[in-house]
Structure 1
Amino acid sequence: MTTFSVSDIPSLTGRTVVVTGGNSGIGRAAARALAAKDAHVVLAVRNPEKGREAAAAMTGHVDVRQLDLADLASIHAFAEDFTEPVDVLINNAGVMIPPLSRTADGFELQFGTNHLGHFALTNLLLPRIRERVVTVSSGAQRRGSIDFDDLNWERKPYKAMAAYAQSKLANLLFTSELQRRLAEVGSPVIATAAHPGMAATNLLSSDGQSRMRSLMEKAALALAQSDDAGALPTLYAAVVDVSGDSYVGPNGFMEARGKPKLVGRSANAQDAEAARRLWDISEELTGVTFPRHALQSA
């Protein structure tokens, strides 16, 4: 499908979709489009007040629940309280190029939120997920590498963009290894990934280093597409009949903008051994494991 738009989303009556960070940017645009197609949409957000403001502007059945992906206790509380089935989980929330910061559990903020938070959330919800997991990566994955000796930037000088690229590469390695494990246990659930291209979201207005922020803002002005356009790859990965471990992005110049299509990924993002190693370390860091027995008995 090369001309995908929101009009191609089928009726989602009876389906529940959880969107992390669904109160702003491409998450809000994706949530709005899914709710308009009669999905029960749950905005999993750090700030419930902002979530309710976003939900009020959407049509359809939209709920708001508190979730702080930078706090494992919050992730566990969300998963424990969420007892109904989930058809699609969209791991959308993220932070981009902040000053060196730590999560509540001591992880570097970007790695801890963008990867480890979604890693824990997905595995905790997985026994209730029925269709697919969509994880939002970034074109920055092409510049990323996984520093297994210092994942949390505790020894080397902190570089915000390099940390962001590592977290977005981790999103793709997570998707690949999740798909491998799902297939291994015979689960019908698939894992897919997407990136929005250059979208003018509030990620670009983070409190990152001023020079980097200025460069990103200039690039956004030149290349950025709207939140609605930036959400199309996520929506494509969520509803189109694609295979597991598919990766969707814009079809235009340097994948910065355009209609969604299946796209390639960096050599680092295709490293199956690194994906397995990252998974094992992520389990150790979060204390959350792949729910193999629950999926095998489902």
Structure 2
Amino acid sequence: MAEETFKALLVSRDADKKQSVAFTELTDADLMEGDVTVAVEATTINYKDGLAITGKSPVVRHFPLIPGIDFAGTVTASTNPEWKAGDKVILNGWGVGEVHHGAYAQKARVKGEWLVPLPDGMSARDAMAIGTAGYTAMLCVMALERHGITPERGSIVVTGAAGGVGSVAISVLSKLGYHVIAVTGREAEHGYLRDLGAAEILPRDELSTPGRPLGKERWAGGVDAVGSHTLANVLAMTSYGGAVAACGLAQGMDLPASVAPFILRGVSLLGVDSVMAPRALRLEAWKRIARDLDHAKLAALSTTMPFDALINAAHDIVEGKVRGRLVVEM
């Protein structure tokens, strides 16, 4: 009897290291090692996934590989004592979609310790409307809170505001009572950003070019998914004792800044990593998402698309054409 197949997106590389990507049919034998098998019900596309599929950055480090760093679904088989068939789970990061077969398939086999439970009242689609981008945004908010950046301290600036991290950060921060300043280069998105809770909107050009080592104090904190000159300028304009949570590199991996904000204003740069974040932090972040993210806004910041639209969407997200979050229904 022929083994049952499932649909998957596979990234391959030829002898000349030229990358290609195509939809294919795989079997369970093609999956990698793991003690939990999951029927993937929904996934999403993050900026990092866009880089993986387009090959614009060396995200995929094992070939051939199923990309996709996020999924939500139902456990179908498990030898891990923590999980049983029927459990609803979420996966974010852990090198999945980079060195281990990822989310862009109807099945995934992973290590049980990489999974977290789907919060009560949340569907697989809801979880992927949040995804790594939204979970990273929550980690940024939590980092600012741990540093004592309360709404009373002043405004919070959010760069890359119309993207996935930015959209969720604005929604959460505004619900928590912060005055949010959104930074975007897309004028058409101003209404969308105000609906999410942005109180002010700044044009991207104000922050994206080389600036002074120290500028006027404009905000108490920031969430930055952009890097490069943008992050340098955000730091230069952060008020005394403020903090900026940095989690992305949409403009670049460089940081052309000076030590002035750190030594003259006591500003802190808080690095936020979602891929290898410890499980306790993940569980707290997802609990906070369930509580602090407005579910009406979640619908507004997400768009659903079919599995076969993934490759085109990858190009769109890398080119900065995507608003909010993309949910892929399997």
- TM-score tier, shorter chain, comes to 0.3 to 0.5
Larger Rg: 2
Higher strand share: 2
Please give the TM-score of this superposition, normalised by the length of structure 1: 0.37
